């Protein structure tokens, strides 16, 4: 293995390859910041360019773009509450409030360091556990995935403080209902389309997330402009751009990062689960393990609340390479695009890649890590300048947020209907937010809706309609017991607090 690492390092550390990582990180960050253009699009855009290079250099460029785009997505989540990809939605829960308090630079720095640490730890896990974990990931069956989705949805417990549990559950159901619009994945029967062709393919994630987060945030700011209770705090540019993380905050991160990286990596290894579930689960778990005092800060700019999803998100990105490199199974959309690129280079990922093309196997792993190091070196000095986006007067910032939201949808569909639908959902979301209905559970449910139905379908069909599949397999039962324990623990803590 040491020999392999050295081969990877020798390949990755050439002048040309370091330059490629830097270019990739830079462009990835810019593309990732644009709504609707996530890591998958960024990598897809790079494929034609990479064919001019040898496989290792091409993949190194893509790794740089990938990490850059993930960081760019976190930046728009933190600064504008506009997560362009599902994996960075949880980042906005505490990142955006922190930015609103004048700590945008700090929030971006915490996100950057957490991503880096999550990536570092997961690269270590990847080095030592990739072959054995690929076997574990294959042992997951539909009932286990269904149970995992349920566990993911219990993360809503994290948003159900102050008597919000029922509101959060209503939002979960609404998110699942929105996800059910369009063609049924197996039978192709259309549902809830009301003979409207525009709804046949369902509602896109970017549309829902832009409507419920970015657009409704912009409308809420305008709506509450004269509200004395929500008057924006005036902050100096120095304060806004400060990236200094104090000792207390570092201590919190030291505790959060290891546990979130483990959750992120393990979830990332499972095909189809990916960074979204990982970041939500890490956020929910973190909220359950911190002190009561810290718990109160969740959703209002908690360091733990920001660090956990960012760590898990990046760890899951590395984890998703396990099934791709060792089994040839892409665990996410992004790795599917990378798999396509690998095949284009004439490289067949799978158990034999390790033996037939060790320089590619190891240079991918090493370049991913080097990509993260370069990203940190490049982006940390830029944070004070990026954070100044928030210093743009609201009269300009609000129309620009609306413009980015509409452009994100327009570029995807070239369809007026989608723009109207987005405005409609944004208006409803703004009204719901006024009355404290939380939006994160809606987004989580919307993302998981399709997967959840698919796995429930398979489980019920295999068990002839019997719900026994929930306890037939030890793994399923264990996940469900964990879910029940989390809910019971949450209810117990709430009850104890009331008394």
Partner 1 sequence: MNINTTKIISLLFFIFSAFYLYTAYQIQVFAFDENAPFNARTFPIYLGYAGLFFSGLKLILPDPNNIKVDHKNLEYKKTGILILIAIIYGATILKVGYFLTTSLFLFASYYFLGERRWILMFLLSFPFVAAFMYLLHGILDIYLRDPFLQSIGVMG
| Residue ranges in contact with partner 1 by CB under 8 A | 31, 37, 45, 162-164, 166-167, 169-170, 173-174, 176-177, 180, 184, 186-187, 189, 191-192, 219, 222-228, 393-396, 398-400, 402-403, 406-407, 410-411, 414-416, 419-420, 423, 427, 430, 432, 434-437, 452-453, 456-457, 460-461, 463-465
Q: Which helix (H) or strand (E) element contains residue 419?
A: helix 416-434
What single-letter DSSP state applies at residue 183? E
- For residue 494, what are its two tokens? 């709430």
* Helical axes 104-138 vs 55-80, angle rounded to 10°: 130
Q: CA of 290: how far to CAs of 253, 330, 343, 495, in Å?
A: 12, 34, 45, 18
- Residue 283: name the closest of 475, 415, 88 by CA: 88
Non-local CB neighbours of 394 within 8 Å, separated by 6+ positions: 221, 225, 232
Given the complex with partner 1, which of 413 and 482 has the nearer CB atom? 413
**Minimum Å distance from CB 125 to partner 1?**
34
Q: How far is the CB of 210 from partner 1 (least distance, A)?
A: 12
CB atoms within 10 A of CB 441: 27
Q: What single string gives the DSSP state of each residue in 255-294?
A: HHHHHHHHHHHHHHHSTTTHHHHHHHHHHHHHHHHS-HHH
Round to whole Å and give the CA distance between 66 and 324.
15
For residue 390, the minimal CB distance to partner 1 (Å) is: 16
135 or 162: whose CB is closer to partner 1? 162
Return the number of the residue (180 or 482) whose C-beta is nearest partner 1: 180
Determine the straight-line distance between the first and last CA of the chain, rounded to whole angstroms.
57
Angle, to 10 degrees, between the axis of helix 165-179 and the axis of helix 440-462? 60
Closest C-alpha among 439, 437, 396, 480 to residue 162: 437
CA angle 58, 63, 68 (to 5 degrees): 130
In the complex, least distance from residue 96 CB atom to partner 1, rounded to whole angstroms: 20
In the bound state with partner 1, the residue whose beta carbon lies nearer, of 260 and 459, is 459
Provide CB contacts within 8 A for 363, sequence distance 6+. Answer: 7, 8, 11, 12, 56, 59, 60
Cβ at position 15, least distance to partner 1 in Å: 25
Measured from the CB of residue 220, what is the shortest distance to partner 1 in angstroms? 9
Give the dihedral sign, CA 432/433/435/438.
positive
Give 434 or 481: the residue with its C-beta nearer to partner 1.
Answer: 434
Nearest to 473 by CA among 167, 139, 51: 139
| CA-closest candidate to residue 123, choices 305, 371, 379 | 371
Pick 184 or 296: Cβ nearer partner 1: 184
Q: Which is nearer to partner 1, 344 or 450 (CB)?
A: 450
15 vs 414, which CB is nearer to partner 1?
414
Minimum separation from the CB atom of position 103 to partner 1 (A): 26
Q: Name the residue nearer to partner 1 (CB basis): 4 or 450.
A: 450
Q: In the bound complex, what is the minimum distance in angstroms from residue 113's beta carbon to partner 1?
A: 29
* Nearest approach, Cβ of residue 319 and partner 1 (Å): 28
**Cβ at position 489, least distance to partner 1 in Å:** 21
Query: What are the residues whose beta carbons fall under 8 Å from the beta carbon of 461, sequence distance 6 or more?
Result: none
> Could you tell me the smallest distance in angstroms from the CB atom of residue 362 to partner 1?
31
Residue with smaller CB distance to partner 1, 233 or 498: 498
Least spacing, CB of residue 122 vs partner 1, in Å: 29
Residues in Cβ contact with 40 at an 8 Å cutoff, skipping those fewer than 6 apart: 85, 333, 334, 337
Indicate the residue among 120 and 164 with the shorter CB distance to partner 1.
Answer: 164
Joined together, the tokens standing for residue 408 give 């994100």
Centre a 10 Å sphere on the Cβ of residue 489 and count the other Cβ atoms it contains. 12
Cβ-based nearer residue to partner 1, 259 or 394: 394
User: Which CB sits closer to partner 1, 188 or 248?
Assistant: 188
* Rounded Cα distance, 387 and 102, in Å: 9
**Nearest distance in Å: CB 78, partner 1:** 21
């Amino acid at each position: 293995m040491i020999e392999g690492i050295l081969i990877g390092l020798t390949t990755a550390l050439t002048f040309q390859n370091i330059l490629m990582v830097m270019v990739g990180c830079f462009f990835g960050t810019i593309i990732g910041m644009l709504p609707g253009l996530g890591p998958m699009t960024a990598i897809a855009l790079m494929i034609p360019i990479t064919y001019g290079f040898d496989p290792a250099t091409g993949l190194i460029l893509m790794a740089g773009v990938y990490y850059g785009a993930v960081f760019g997505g976190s930046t728009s989540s933190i600064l504008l509450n506009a997560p362009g990809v599902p994996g960075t939605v949880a980042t906005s829960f505490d990142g955006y409030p922190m930015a609103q308090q004048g700590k945008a630079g700090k929030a971006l720095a915490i996100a950057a360091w957490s991503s880096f640490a999550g990536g570092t730890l997961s690269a270590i896990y990847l080095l030592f556990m990739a072959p054995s974990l690929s076997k574990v990931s294959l042992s997951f069956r539909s009932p286990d995935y269904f149970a995992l989705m349920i566990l993911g949805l219990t993360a809503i417990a994290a948003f159900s403080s102050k008597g919000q549990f029922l509101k959060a559950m209503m939002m979960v159901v609404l998110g699942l209902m929105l996800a059910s619009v369009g063609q049924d994945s197996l039978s192709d029967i259309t549902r809830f389309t009301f003979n409207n062709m525009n709804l046949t393919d369902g509602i896109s994630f970017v549309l829902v997330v832009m409507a419920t987060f970015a657009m409704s945030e912009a409308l809420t700011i305008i709506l509450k402009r004269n509200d004395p209770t929500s008057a924006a705090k005036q902050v100096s540019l120095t304060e806004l751009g400060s990236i200094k993380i104090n000792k207390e905050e570092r201590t919190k991160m030291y505790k959060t990062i290891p546990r979130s990286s483990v959750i992120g990596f393990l979830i990332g290894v499972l095909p189809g689960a990916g960074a979204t579930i990982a970041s939500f689960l890490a956020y929910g778990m973190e909220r359950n393990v911190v002190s009561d005092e810290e718990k109160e800060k969740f959703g209002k700019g908690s360091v733990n609340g920001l660090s956990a999803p960012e760590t898990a998100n990046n760890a899951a990105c590395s984890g998703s390479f396990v099934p791709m490199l060792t089994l040839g199974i892409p665990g996410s959309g992004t790795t599917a695009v990378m798999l396509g690129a690998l095949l284009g280079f004439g490289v067949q990922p799978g158990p034999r890649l390790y033996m037939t093309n060790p320089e590619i196997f190891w240079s991918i792993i090493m370049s991913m890590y080097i990509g993260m190091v370069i990203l940190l070196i490049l982006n940390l000095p830029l944070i004070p300048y990026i954070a100044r986006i928030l210093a743009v007067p609201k009269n300009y910032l609000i129309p620009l947020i609306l413009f980015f939201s509409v452009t994100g949808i327009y570029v995807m569909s070239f369809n007026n209907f989608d723009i109207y639908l987005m405005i409609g959902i944004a208006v409803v979301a703004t009204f719901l937010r006024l009355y404290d209905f939380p939006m994160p559970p809606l987004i989580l449910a919307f993302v998981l809706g399709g997967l959840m139905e698919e796995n429930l379908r398979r489980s019920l069909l295999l068990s002839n309609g019997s719900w026994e599949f929930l306890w037939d397999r030890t793994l399923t039962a264990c996940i469900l017991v964990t879910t029940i324990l989390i809910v019971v623990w949450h209810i117990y803590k709430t009850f104890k607090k009331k008394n």
